[in-house]
């Protein structure tokens, strides 16, 4: 009985310290309903594999790694990509609306550029830029070495820059406007 | 605009949930989820000496689900459902969750998903809807919400799953699985002992017409028995697995 209580206490610590970050992670990628599912699945895995959850600062990237696997189900990925591509198509006919919100415009352009990358490239870039993880932390989430993360991120940045430039050209984004 | 020309800056600025605005774990939703999770069994939390149990827990359900799925394709009558598909809405295209049938009552198997904090009611804001069970095209049971005054099965062109169909047989198979799991997980059971045990259990649960298939050879590397259930052929396949690792 005492062991069970200890277990709940340990899990509560992990849960309360990381719930917000994991939910934010999911909300950055999916709608609210899907994000709730991702959070539930991620912490259920943590509960069942509590002995495997690293202590301290490494718990969060470990949870990101689980969440990433939960998210990487092909069906969800395809659905999301479809939505993003649809956004690009919609953008082309909405010049007036675009002018109303430069911030939203650029978010859509960035989302469109991300949608042109591989899932791994996307995730590496977002973990670094949105989740503010170090290369060592991303390595925990990805299950590879920090050196490998550095190399892969370098390539992902290049591909992202190319994709973003391409999207800008297609919809007349900030880069085009700035150079005009 | 020019200050955001750098792709990295633009990527950072496009963060849909800016840093510092993350949700907290003290919301009712978060607390409901916490309590739901800690009420789940911690299936993978085992002492090192019981690694075998973990492997068996993984192998047996996978084999059961796989063979059950294969079997249902040709065995259209719902006699022994081991897996139930729970749907979030009265439609075949809504979110679906497969759950292992722990009871012969199909509706009860899906009820947990609708409780506050459950997958279909994460925020705990909606009551458990009326549910109904239908027979899906592949022969499995699907459980759907049924709005008042409607007949979801008819609307979807599906036959209703009658709780009584094969009831005693269903329960017997579930009971058999539980008994076999308890025995095979408790220790490494060799081939002759496993065959004898399975035959005695089939007799005990009055499962006539079932047989034990032990055609897969046991080896020194895989000397312990695990079981897979082929519902269509009414056969229990003995599957050899490795001996548990020493602690």
Decide: A110 and B14 in contact? Cβ < 8 Å: yes
Query: What is the least distance, in Å, from the CA of B94 to any CA of chain A?
Result: 13
Is some CB atom of chain B closer than 8 A to the CB atom of A62? Answer: no
CA–CA gap between residue B139 and residue A98 (Å, rounded): 50
Are B25 and A15 in contact (CB < 8 Å)? yes
- pLDDT exceeds 90 at position A87: no
Question: What per-residue confidence (pLDDT) applies to B120?
Answer: 85
Average pLDDT over chain A reads: 78
CA B140 to chain centre: 13
Kindly state the DSSP code that residue A54 receives in the 8-state scheme. P
Tell me if residue B142 falls in helix, strand or coil: strand
Largest CA distance in chain A: 70
Assigned token pair, A141:
């989430």
Handedness of CA B66, A143, A47, A6 (dihedral sign): positive
Q: Of A68-77, A150-159, B102-111, B133-142, which one has max mean pLDDT?
A: A150-159
Q: Which of A48, A108, A121, A128 to mutate to test the interface with B (most CBs of B within 10 A)?
A: A48
Q: What are phi and psi of B100, to 5 degrees?
A: -70, 135
Strand partners for B228? B237
Is some CB atom of chain B closer than 8 A to the CB atom of A84? Answer: no
Are A111 and B14 in contact (CB < 8 Å)? yes
Name the percent of chain B in helix, strand, coil, to the closest 5.
40, 15, 45
Query: What is the least distance, in Å, from the CA of B186 to any CA of chain A?
Result: 20
Query: What is the least distance, in Å, from the CA of A145 to any CA of chain B?
Result: 23
Give the ipTM: 0.74
pLDDT digits over B36-86, tens only? 888 877 754 444 444 444 454 555 555 555 444 444 333 333 444 566 788
Tell me if residue B130 falls in helix, strand or coil: coil
pLDDT digits over B97-113, tens only? 877 666 667 788 788 88
């Amino acid at each position: 009985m005492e062991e069970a209580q200890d277990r709940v206490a340990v899990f509560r610590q992990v849960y309360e310290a990381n719930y917000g970050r994991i939910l934010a992670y999911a909300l950055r990628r999916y709608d609210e309903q899907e994000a709730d599912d991702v959070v539930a699945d991620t912490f259920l895995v943590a509960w069942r594999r509590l002995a495997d959850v690293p202590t301290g600062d490494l718990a969060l990237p470990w949870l990101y790694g689980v969440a990433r696997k939960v998210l990487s189900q092909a069906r969800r990925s395809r659905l999301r990509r479809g939505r993003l591509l649809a956004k690009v198509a919609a953008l082309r006919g909405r010049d007036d609306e675009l002018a109303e919100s430069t911030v939203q415009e650029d978010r859509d352009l960035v989302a469109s550029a991300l949608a042109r990358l591989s899932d791994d490239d996307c995730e590496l870039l977002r973990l670094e830029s949105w989740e503010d993880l170090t290369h060592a932390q991303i390595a925990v989430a990805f299950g590879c070495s920090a050196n490998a993360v550095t190399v892969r991120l370098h390539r992902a940045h290049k591909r992202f820059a190319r994709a973003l430039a391409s999207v800008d050209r297609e919809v007349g984004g900030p880069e085009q406007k700035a150079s005009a | 605009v020019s200050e955001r020309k750098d792709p990295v800056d633009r990527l950072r600025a496009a963060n849909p949930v800016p840093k510092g605005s993350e949700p907290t774990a003290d919301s009712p939703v978060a607390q409901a989820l916490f309590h739901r999770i800690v009420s789940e069994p911690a299936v993978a939390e085992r002492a090192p000496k019981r690694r075998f149990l973990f492997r068996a827990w993984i192998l047996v359900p996978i084999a059961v689900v796989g063979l059950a799925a294969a079997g249902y394709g040709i065995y259209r009558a719902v006699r022994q459902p081991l897996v139930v598909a729970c749907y979030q809405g009265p439609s075949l295209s809504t979110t679906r969750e497969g759950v292992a049938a722990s009871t012969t009552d199909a509706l009860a198997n899906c009820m947990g998903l609708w409780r506050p904090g459950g997958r279909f009611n994460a925020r705990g804001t909606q009551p458990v809807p009326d549910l109904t069970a239908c027979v899906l095209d592949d022969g499995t049971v699907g459980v759907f919400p049924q709005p008042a005054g409607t007949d979801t099965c008819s609307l979807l062109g599906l036959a209703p799953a009658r709780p009584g169909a094969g009831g005693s047989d269903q329960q017997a198979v579930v009971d058999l699985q539980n008994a076999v799991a308890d025995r095979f997980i408790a220790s490494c059971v060799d081939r002759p002992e496993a065959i004898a045990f399975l035959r005695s259990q089939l007799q005990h649960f009055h499962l006539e017409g079932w047989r034990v298939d032990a055609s897969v050879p046991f080896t020194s590397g895989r000397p312990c028995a695990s079981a897979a259930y082929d519902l269509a052929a009414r056969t229990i396949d003995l599957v050899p697995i490795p001996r548990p690792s020493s602690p």
